[in-house]
């Protein structure tokens, strides 16, 4: 792990969760303390915490935090409760968190895992603090596994990066988006550690600026050269031969290798293909969705018009947060289990997810 590692999440006092509020970056490193499912749902919806793997981890930790709080309360709300927190509470909390953002499949995967862990613990008689502890242990395991998968992605991904490479990335797929060193940026960090003298071109990532605000911030802290460009400059930069490869993260990868990621990713894939540049996607196994046969099945989040127009002036806008890049435009998918090459269908099936 780089000496400058930035955790975007931590456990807080009394089983609460501490979150680095990413909407305040880079101006301010503001930490929030969250102890309820309602507050965690709001933090996920408003992108205070974001990035597919980190959303999943945050939701799991938020669930455990609320369980701790409820378990610490003197009495269950109804005398008939068999144990508090209850199964009804768990089901409702899981539904609420899972609905916070629709595209990143990691959220659904981790919530389902937490739900099963909670129900299983209840069946074996755990209530109150014991149940809360079981949920916290599961959330910590999800976090630890993600950190390990990021490291493995970094090791595999760096093999695709030549010394001196100028790497274009979109959005933020680094330490601020995962529980570890990141996915796309994980490969960059490991290449940097191996002395490859890489540099990064971060697309601004309209409309919320994850590239300009977050990728540039975390790379500066790690001492990796990074230049921010407006999204519209990518084509011209490639035409000037100033980009060697593109690597991005993913919010969901369908069974055939179609990739949902931040809006603008599809355009970058088209540009990379046009300029004969490799277009890589880096993602852990938790981002693959065997239930989506192709990208058409992936729900695409649409966000408020005001994120583009800047206010409630009645201006019309369409604001999809993600797009789908067809598998045919992807050179390789870097996973924690190795680098997948086309045809992706059989390669993904062989991951056994
Ligand atoms: O809307 P965001 O900021 O949550 O979108 C994040 C992305 O699109 C990332 O590229 C993706 O989640 C991969 S993060 C490792």
pLDDT digits (tens, 9 = 90+) for 243-296: 999 999 999 999 999 999 999 999 999 999 999 999 999 999 999 999 999 999
Which residue, judged by its Cα, is nearest atom 5 of ligand 1?
51
Give catalytic residue positions. 251
1-8's contacts with Cβ under 8 Å and 24+ in sequence apart are 1/151, 1/180, 1/181, 2/181, 2/189, 2/192, 2/193, 2/222, 4/221, 4/222, 4/223, 5/175, 5/181, 6/175, 6/176, 6/218, 6/221, 7/175, 8/49, 8/54, 8/175, 8/176, 8/177
Q: Kindly state if the Cβ of 292 falls inside 6 Å of ligand 1.
A: no
Please report which confidence band the pLDDT of residue 189 belongs to, taking 50, 70 and 90 as the band edges. Answer: very high
Tell me which of 19, 55, 57, 171 to substitute to probe ligand 1's pocket, judged by most ligand atoms within 8 Å of the beta carbon: 171
Query: In this structure, are residues 226 and 215 in contact, taking their beta carbons and an 8 Å threshold?
Result: yes
pLDDT for 126 beyond 60: yes
pLDDT value at 228 more than 50: yes
* Ligand 1 mean position, distance from CA 177 (Å): 7
> Which atom of ligand 1 is found nearest the CA of 174?
15
Q: Which ligand 1 atom is nearest residue 248's CA?
A: 10
Q: Is 107 in the pocket of ligand 1 (CB under 6 A)?
A: no
Specify the pLDDT at position 3.
Answer: 61
Largest CA distance in the chain: 71
Q: Is 171 in the pocket of ligand 1 (CB under 6 A)?
A: yes
Tell how far the Cα of 349 is from the centroid of ligand 1, in angstroms: 24
- For position 309, what pLDDT does the model report? 93
Give the C-alpha distances (Å, rounded to integers) separating 312 from 60, 86, 304, 316.
Answer: 34, 41, 10, 10
Atom of ligand 1 minimally distant from the CA of 322: 8
What pLDDT does residue 72 have?
A: 82
Q: Rounded to an integer, what distance in angstroms lies between the CA atom of residue 56 and that of residue 58?
A: 6
Q: Which residues of 331-347 are buried (b: 16+ CB within 10 A; e: fewer)?
A: bbbbbbbbbbeeebeeb
Whether pLDDT at 179 is above 90: yes
Q: Which residues contact 120 (CB under 8 A, 6 or more apart)?
A: none
In the predicted structure, residue 6 carries a pLDDT above the cut 90: no
- H helix count then E strand count, the chain: 11, 14
Choose the residue to mutate in 23, 102, 177 for probing ligand 1, maximizing ligand atoms within 8 Å of C-beta. 177
Taking only the tens place, the pLDDT of each residue in 15-60 is 999 999 999 999 999 999 999 999 999 999 999 999 999 999 999 9
Nearest CA to ligand 1 atom 6: 51
CA proximity to 104, closest of 63, 55, 44, 43 = 55
Question: In angstroms, how far is the first alpha carbon of the chain from the final one?
Answer: 27
| Ligand 1 pocket check for 173: Cβ under 6 Å | yes
Q: What is the reported pLDDT for 2?
A: 66
Band (297; pLDDT cuts 50, 70, 90): very high
Q: Does the C-beta of 321 come closer than 6 Å to ligand 1?
A: yes
Task: Please indicate whether residue 178, judged by its CB atom, sits closer than 6 Å to ligand 1.
Answer: yes
- Look up the pTM and report it: 0.96
Q: How far is the C-alpha of 9 from the C-alpha of 197, rounded, in Å?
A: 29
Backbone angles phi, psi at 205, to 5 degrees: 70, 75
Average pLDDT, the chain: 95
Amino acid 84: pLDDT:
72
In this predicted structure, the answer to whether residue 305 has a pLDDT above a threshold of 80 is yes
* pLDDT of 77 above 90: no
Q: Is the pLDDT of residue 351 over 50?
A: yes
Which residue from 34, 46, 131 is spatially nearest to 89, judged by alpha carbons? 131
Q: What average pLDDT does this structure show over 133-143?
A: 98
Rounded to the nearest whole angstrom, what is the distance from the C-alpha of residue 265 to the centroid of ligand 1?
A: 11
Digit-coded pLDDT (tens) for 106-116? 999 999 999 99
Residue with tokens 């809006």, as numbered in its chain: 263
Residue 195 CA to residue 201 CA, distance in Å, equals: 18
pLDDT at 75 over 80: no
pLDDT confidence of residue 80: 46
Q: Which residues contact 40 (CB under 8 A, 6 or more apart)?
A: 17, 34, 58, 59, 61, 62, 63, 65, 66, 97
Task: List the one residue out of 291, 301, 187, 305 whose CA is nearest residue 249.
Answer: 187
Q: Does residue 52's CB lie within 6 angstroms of at least one atom of ligand 1?
A: yes
| C-beta of 134 in contact with ligand 1 (< 6 A) | no
Q: What percent of the chain has pLDDT over 90?
A: 91
Mean pLDDT of 328-337: 98
Half-sphere exposure of 337 (CA within 13 A, CB side): 14
Residue 166 CA to ligand 1 center (angstroms) comes to 21
Pocket of ligand 1 contains residue 54 by CB under 6 Å: no
């Amino acid at each position: 792990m780089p000496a400058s590692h930035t955790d975007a999440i931590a456990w807080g006092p009394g089983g609460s969760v501490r979150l680095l509020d990413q909407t305040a970056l880079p101006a301010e490193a503001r930490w929030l303390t969250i102890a309820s499912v309602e507050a965690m749902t709001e933090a996920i919806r408003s992108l205070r915490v974001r990035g597919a793997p980190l959303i999943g981890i945050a939701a799991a930790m938020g669930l455990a935090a609320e369980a701790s709080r409820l378990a610490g309360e003197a009495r269950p709300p109804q005398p008939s409760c068999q144990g508090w927190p209850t199964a009804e509470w768990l089901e409702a909390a899981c539904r609420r968190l899972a609905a916070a953002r629709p595209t990143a499949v990691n959220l659904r995967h981790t919530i389902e895992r937490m739900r099963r862990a909670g129900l299983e613990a209840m069946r074996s008689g755990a209530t109150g603090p014991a149940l809360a502890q079981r949920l916290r242990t599961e959330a910590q395991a999800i976090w630890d596994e993600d950190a390990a998968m990021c490291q493995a992605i970094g090791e595999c991904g760096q093999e695709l990066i030549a010394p001196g490479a100028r790497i274009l990335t979109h959005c933020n797929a680094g330490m601020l988006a995962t529980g570890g060193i990141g996915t796309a940026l994980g490969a960059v960090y490991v290449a940097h550690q191996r002395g490859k003298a890489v540099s990064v071109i971060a697309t601004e990532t309209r409309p919320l600026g994850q590239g300009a605000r977050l990728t540039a911030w975390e790379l500066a802290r790690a001492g990796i050269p990074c230049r921010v460009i407006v999204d519209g400059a990518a084509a011209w930069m490639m035409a000037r031969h100033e980009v060697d490869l593109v690597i991005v993260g993913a919010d969901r990868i369908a069974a055939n290798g179609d990739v949902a990621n931040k809006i603008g990713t599809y355009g970058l894939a088209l540009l990379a293909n046009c300029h004969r540049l490799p277009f890589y996607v880096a993602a852990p196994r938790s981002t693959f969705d065997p239930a989506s046969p192709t990208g058409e099945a992936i729900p695409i989040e649409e966000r408020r018009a005001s994120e583009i127009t800047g206010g409630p002036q009645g201006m019309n806008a369409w604001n999809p947060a993600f797009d789908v890049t067809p598998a045919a435009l992807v050179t390789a998918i870097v996973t924690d289990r190795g680098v997948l090459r086309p045809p992706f269908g059989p390669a993904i099936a062989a991951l056994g997810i």
